[in-house]
Structures are given as C-alpha cells and as structure tokens.
Amino acid sequence: MNSIRQSLIKAKKLFEKKNIPALEAVLLLEKVLSLPKEKLFANLERNLSPQQEKKFFELINKRLNNFPIQYILGYQNFWSLKFQIGQGVFIPRPETELLVEKALELFSKENEIIIIDIGTGCGNIAISLGKEYSNSRIIGIDVSKKALYYANKNARFHRVHNVEFLKGNLFSPLKKLNLYRKVDLIISNPPYVSEEEWMELDEEILKYEPKEALVPGKSGLELIEKIIKESPKFLKIKGFLLLEIGEKQADKVKELFNEHWKEIEIFKDYNHLPRAIKARLS
C-alpha cells in the first residue's frame, strides 16, 4: 500500500511527461478520498486502501488519455462559483468571465431588468448574472436537453430564483413569452469555431467536448450573424447585445451590424486578444 505522499509523487511523475499540472493529481485524489486539500496535506503519511489506490490511478490514466479533468471532477469554477457539468456539455472557459464583467458595467445592480442568455450551456453566465442582478429576470436558452439538465441543477445548487431555463433554438422559446421589445440585455457565448479551426484544436477538445457547442458551420460566424439579426425583435430601444467572439473575428463581426446599432465596442481578454463585442440598439 502506498501513502498519500507516495501516490501523489507517482502521479506527479506520470503527469510531468504530458505537461499536466501536478495540482490536477491533488484534485483527483481529493475526489477519491472525499477530503479537502487541507486535510489531504495534513495526512500525507496515511496509507490508501487498495480500492482507493486503484480508483485514484484509474482516474490518473483517464486524465493521461486527455479526458478533460472537469468531466472527471464533475465541475468547473466560473465567476468564483462552482458549476456542475458532465460529458456532452460545453466546459465554461475563464475568458468568458469577461462577458459577465462587461454586463455588470451596463446597469445598476438594483435595476429590474430582463436578460436573455442564448446558448446557456450549464447556466454559468445566466446564474452568475442572476446572483449579481438579484432583482432581475434572467432566461437561459439552449437546444441541448443535457445542458439544460445541468443548468437547472446548478440553479438549484446556487439557490437563484430569478433564473429560468428554456429549451429551444436561439430565440424560439421567447415568442410564447411575449418579450418582443422588452429585453434589456441579450448575452451569448455562441459556438464560433470554424470547421478549419476545429481540426486544429487540442485532442482533449476534439475527442470529448460536444462539437455542436463549438462549431456552428463552415465560417464560425453562422450563429453570431443570426443572433445579431434577430436581437432587435426582442431588445428594447437602447438595449444591449453582448457576444463572445473568436480572436480573429472582430472585424468580420463588426460588419454584421447595420445602421440600427451604435456604440459598437470590442473588448480584449486577459491575453489581450479580442474576445467580446458590445452593441446598443438605437
């Protein structure tokens, strides 16, 4: 039997060969032992049972085969919140926090506003905004039944009562709600990876993440164009549209806005790459 220390050293050596951070081994052992990191390091000489050791190295091997750690752990952190996810659901990225950050600059937190999140996935954007804009009504929409299962699960976990999730393609569920020209903000991290870019992504993404959550079509602009075109039906005059975009798409996306839009602004992410675009309906 190996101790916690010995098992972590062995796992770290295996991970080093594939440039996987050693911290991930700690996270996987936390999962196996159901122990927080502090207790793990306070008991480094404790021996693992044969079953615990077997389970731990099964997860290590899964990770060595490029299975995303977020799917193994069953969660991803976003906006200082923990979001439960599973295979088949898009994994939230840190750079998407920029959308939440920019959304919070648009209105006072006391305002009673309506926000629509298109392609909500596990609900990370909608729920993060629901926590911040507690007086507001927020609707997350997704075409994926599995994504909505996790979105609803996350809403219950975070006890947000001002967020609801609807199944449907883009704006279709809103037609029954009579929200024409009543929405203050439409926000979205839509699929925007082109078919060409998809082939160049890491194996971890290619093998395990849902392609439909990343690739909308050949150019990568297909859904962005539809959202820009349909948003004016639901936005109030002077309402905002806030989209995540690909790092090489800024100029092309700008061209999709017609004369009815103003205050078009591009924002860069923490790597100084164009990552979000904001526009206001005139």
Quick one: 138 and 258 in the same domain? Answer: yes
Q: What is the mean pLDDT of residues 137-155?
A: 97
What local confidence, expressed as pLDDT, does residue 235 receive? 97
pTM of the model: 0.93
On whether both 120 and 242 belong to a single domain, the answer is yes
Task: Kindly state the tokens that stand for 175.
Answer: 């037609």
Note if 2 is an active site residue. Answer: no
Q: Are residues 101 and 235 in the same domain?
A: yes
The answer to whether residues 58 and 109 belong to one domain is no
Q: How far is CA 276 from the centre of its chain?
A: 14
Can you state the percent helix, strand and coil of the chain, rounding each to 5?
40, 20, 35
Q: What integer pLDDT is reported at residue 190 of this predicted model?
A: 95
Query: Does pLDDT of 203 surpass 90?
Result: no
For residue 199, pLDDT over 90 is answered with no
User: Per residue in 260-275, pLDDT tens?
Assistant: 999 999 999 989 999 9
Same domain, residue pair 48 and 154:
no
Q: Which domain holds residue 215?
A: 79-281
Query: Could you tell me the pLDDT band of residue 87, with boundaries at 50, 70 and 90?
Result: very high
Instruction: For residues 181 and 255, state if they share a domain.
Output: yes
Mean pLDDT check: name the lowest of 114-118, 159-163, 268-272. 268-272
Q: Is residue 73 part of a domain?
A: no
pLDDT band at 92 (very low <50, low <70, confident <90, very high): very high
Give the 3-state secondary structure of residue 174. helix
- Tokens encoding 207: 């093998």
Average pLDDT, integer, range 148-155: 98
Could you give the number of structural domains in the chain?
2
The H-or-E segment that residue 147 falls in is: helix 145-157
Q: Do residues 228 and 220 touch, judged by C-beta distance below 8 A? A: no
The answer to whether the beta carbons of residues 139 and 127 sit under 8 Å apart is: no
pLDDT digits (tens, 9 = 90+) for 207-251: 999 999 999 889 999 999 999 999 999 999 999 999 999 999 999
Q: Identify the active-site residue in 15, 57, 90, 165.
A: 90
Check residue 156 and give its pLDDT: 97
157 is catalytic: no
Q: Compute the mean pLDDT over every residue in the chain, rounded to the nearest whole number.
A: 94
Whether 266 and 132 share a structural domain? yes
Q: What is the pLDDT of residues 42-73, one digit of tens each?
A: 989 999 999 999 999 999 999 999 999 999 99
Closest CA to 77 of 96, 60, 58: 96
Q: Is a pLDDT exceeding 80 seen at residue 1?
A: no
Identify the pLDDT of residue 176.
87
Confidence category of residue 82, pLDDT binned at 50, 70, 90? very high
Please report which confidence band the pLDDT of residue 175 belongs to, taking 50, 70 and 90 as the band edges.
confident
Q: Is 190 annotated as catalytic?
A: yes
Q: What is the pLDDT of residue 2?
A: 87
Q: Which member of 190, 191, 216, 232 is catalytic?
A: 190
Q: Residue 193's closest CA among 170, 207, 210, 208? A: 210
Share of the chain above pLDDT 70, in %: 100
The answer on pLDDT for 135 being more than 80 is yes
Q: Which of 78, 154, 189, 216 is catalytic?
A: 189
Domain shared by 115 and 43, yes or no = no
Looking at the fold, whether 17 and 113 belong to one and the same domain comes out as no
Note the pLDDT of residue 6: 94
